[in-house]
Amino acid sequence: MDYRIIPGILEKDWPVIETKIQQVLPFAKAIHIDLIDGKFAPNTTFMDPEPFSKYTKDAFFELHMMVEEPINFLKPFSDSGFQRFIGHIEKMSDQVEFVAKAQLLGEVGLGVDQDSELDRVEVPFSDLDVLLFMTVKVGFSGQEFVGKNLDKIKKAREKSCIPIEVDGGVNDQTILKAKESGADRFVATSFIFEDTPKEQYKILHDKIAGGRWD
């Protein structure tokens, strides 16, 4: 299985976002940007796609849309170079339409919040490039990992070999629990940036890859 660590960025201000992008660009194969509009969760993030275009040619950027009707954000962020689009099932009126439109622009995924059941995913897993599970409540970084949600990951893995991404509370203690449940992509936000990002990334990488560093 191809395991991946993906640095995540959840911030309100572009200068902070830019600094974090610059910190992880030299080693990260993908960068995960959180988009929150205040309607899904009691928080907001930087929402302007244009400044990202400065960096999207240098890394693979995925957009995690914790917003109402994520379909409306697809084209603006695609135009700025984003290549993977993950929208939450809880705030979209038509999952089939979202997936179909996102497929025209790049890779597509659906996000499942911690309180939602797996059967709320209405499209075949085979139509998706990734399925994302929250292991915290959407909206804020720095929350503690919620282990009860691992059962949904196990069920999804039993049904499909689709890449499964875990987001929320991922650190050097929780990443193996997520891996053992069937996840193969791990979004780390607070842990990556609480110390030297490259070293934090390596700690997580070594946990899941048996010490290999590439």
Q: Which of 54-63, 71-80, 96-105, 111-120 has the lowest mean pLDDT?
A: 111-120
Give me the mean pLDDT over the 45-73 stretch: 98
* pLDDT > 90? residue 2: no
Q: Where are the domains of the chain?
A: 4-209
Q: State how far the alpha carbon of 92 is from the alpha carbons of 47, 132, 212, in Å.
A: 18, 15, 40
pLDDT value at 82 more than 70: yes
Residue 135: predicted pLDDT: 84
d(CA 92, CA 70): 7
- The tens digit of pLDDT for each residue in 9-56 reads 999 999 999 999 999 999 999 999 999 999 887 889 999 999 999 999
Report how far Cα 123 is from the mean position of its chain's Cα atoms. 19
Mean predicted confidence (pLDDT) in 125-139: 86
- Grouping H, G, I as helix, E, B as strand and the rest as coil, residue 157 is helix
Predicted confidence at residue 180, as pLDDT, reads: 93
- Tell me what pLDDT residue 144 has: 63
What pLDDT sits at residue 211? 39
CB 179 within 8 A of CB 210: no
Q: 20-24, 173-177, 178-182: which has the highest mean pLDDT? A: 20-24
Q: What is the CATH number of domain 4-209?
A: 3.20.20.70
Using the predicted structure, report yes or no on whether residue 142 has a pLDDT greater than 70: no
Sign of CA dihedral 84, 140, 12, 190: negative
Name the nearest CA neighbour of 167 among 2, 7, 3. 7
Predicted confidence at residue 148, as pLDDT, reads 73
User: Which sign, positive or negative, has the C-alpha torsion 77, 178, 162, 3?
Assistant: positive
Please give the sequence-ordered ranges of beta strands (E in DSSP) within 10-90, or none if there are none.
30-36, 60-66, 84-88
